[in-house]
Amino acid sequence: MKAAVLSFPGSNCDADLLWAIRDICGEEAEMVAANHTDLSGFDLVLVPGGFSYGDYLRSGAIAKFAPVMTALKAFADAGGYVIGICNGFQILTEAGLLPGALQWNQSLQFICEPEPLVVANNQTAFSTAYRADQTITLPIAHGEGNYYADPATLAALEANGQVVFRYAHNPNGSLNDIAGVTNARGNVLGMMPHPERAVEALLGGTDGLGVFQSLIHATKGATTVAAN
C-alpha cells in the first residue's frame, strides 16, 4: 500500500499523518505538495489538518483551488480512498467531495481536548477495525468544526449509513452529533477529530489506529488507482 499525504501552505498535521502511516503502521508513504498535479500510483490520499493558506476567507476555501485538488477529484472519482482530517475535512466539503459544510463552533471558541466518539458505522473502509457502537477517544482541535447540512442531505446521510463517527458529548453543535461522514460511494471520509494524534500510548492513547488499520486492509484488497 502506498499513501500520499498532501501538504498545503499552512498544513501542520502532515508530518503527523506521515508518521502514523509510515512509522507506526509500517506502510509506504510520501508527502505530496499542493502544486503537484499527479496522484497516480497511490492507493490512499490523506488530507491533513492545519490552517491551509491561513484559513483566509473560510477554512479550506482557498485550498480547493490548489493544483493537486484536480488530481484528488480524479483519484476519488476513480474509486481511490481519501480521508480528510480537521482542515482536510473542511477542504473536502469546500471542494464538493463531501456533502455539508463546517461552520464556527456553537461557542465561537477554538476547542482543543480529548473527545469521546461513538463508531456509528463500522462497515466502512475507514472503520472496520472497530466494533459497532464502540466508544473511542480522539483529540479535537478546531474552531470551525460545527457540521451542517440541509435537512434532505442530513436525512440521506443517515439513511445511507454515511455517518461513521458521532460525538458522545457534542462539543461544537454539529447536527446529529456528526464527527465524520463519507460520500455516497463510501471511498471518501471527512472527520474533525485527529486519529493521527492517537496512535501511540506515549501520546495518551491508541484509539486512532483503527482508522489507519481499516484503510490499510481496504486498500490492500484493491488495485492501485491511476489518476492523472
Helix (H, G, I), strand (E, B) or coil at 119: strand
- Whole-angstrom distance, CA of residue 175 vs CA of residue 144: 13
Which among 13, 94, 144, 194 is annotated as catalytic?
Answer: 194
123 CB-contact burial (10 Å; exposed 0-12 / middle 13-18 / buried 19+): exposed
Residue 86 bears catalytic tag? yes
- Whole-angstrom distance, CA of residue 192 vs CA of residue 85: 6
Residue 30 bears catalytic tag? no
Which among 27, 86, 115, 142 is annotated as catalytic?
Answer: 86
Q: What is the DSSP string of 131-171?
A: PTT-EEEEEEEESS-EEE--HHHHHHHHHTT-EEEEESS-S
- Are 189 and 83 contacting, i.e. CB atoms less than 8 angstroms apart? yes
Which among 27, 115, 144, 196 is annotated as catalytic?
Answer: 196
- Whole-angstrom distance, CA of residue 28 vs CA of residue 97: 25
Q: Count the Cβ atoms, other than its own, within 10 Å of residue 165.
A: 27
Residue 25 bears catalytic tag? no
Q: List, by residue number, the catalytic residues.
A: 86, 194, 196
